[in-house]
Amino acid sequence: MPAKRLTMDESIKLHLYFNENIERENQKFFFQYTWKKQFVELKKAIIYSVLFLTLGFLPLKSLNLGPVSIIFKLGSFLFVGYIFLLLYQYFSIKNKTFNLIEGQIDDLRRKKDEVSFISLHKDSIIVKNPFFTINCVWDKTHYKMVDQYLILNMVNKNINFIFTKPEFKENEYKILLNFLQQYSKKEK
């Protein structure tokens, strides 16, 4: 079903229904999604540290490295330290982020009666919840589908919203997707 063509003054308003479990799940998904790149970095660091530990500390008779083994020993300590730094950052930021998520859900629960919505216009999109209103032109709006999650990036990918189908009534989710496909840019 193609998105409805709008005249300049018309808009479509899609209401968002707060569900704390969905909100918590969406926010935790986005945290893991953004840290996925760091996990690739962690895997590389583990591989390099194992390689450097092997070349620096195991007596391999076929590979007589001599004084070069000192470089591998020092490098292995650097990579092990880097692994611990990445793990510390992950768990520290995860703890802070999950506390912020719970605080945000508490705030939303208190303001649950206030209306949250997405307003679709021919030249822009507006996302409003009880705490803020973001208006963005379509040229600065991107979206990405990851599993069942719709990641909406606004203001040149500086503001992100996560949506799933259960947050919308009836076919409103399809309407949003159709507008995004028609007016914004899809990320790969």
The CATH label, of 3.90.79.10, 2.40.50.140, 2.30.29.30, 3.20.20.140, for the domain at 11-18+113-186 is 2.30.29.30
pLDDT in tens, 128-149: 988 888 999 999 999 999 999 9
Q: Average pLDDT, whole number, for the chain?
A: 86
What is the residue extent of each domain of the chain? 11-18+113-186, 21-110
Q: What is the pLDDT of residue 180?
A: 93
Hey, is 147 helix, strand or coil?
coil
Query: Mean pLDDT throughout 115-134?
Result: 89
Give the pTM: 0.76
pLDDT in tens, 36-46: 888 898 999 99
Cα–Cα distance for residue pair 154/12, rounded to 1 Å: 18
pLDDT tops 50 at residue 8: no
Cα–Cα distance for residue pair 74/53, rounded to 1 Å: 9
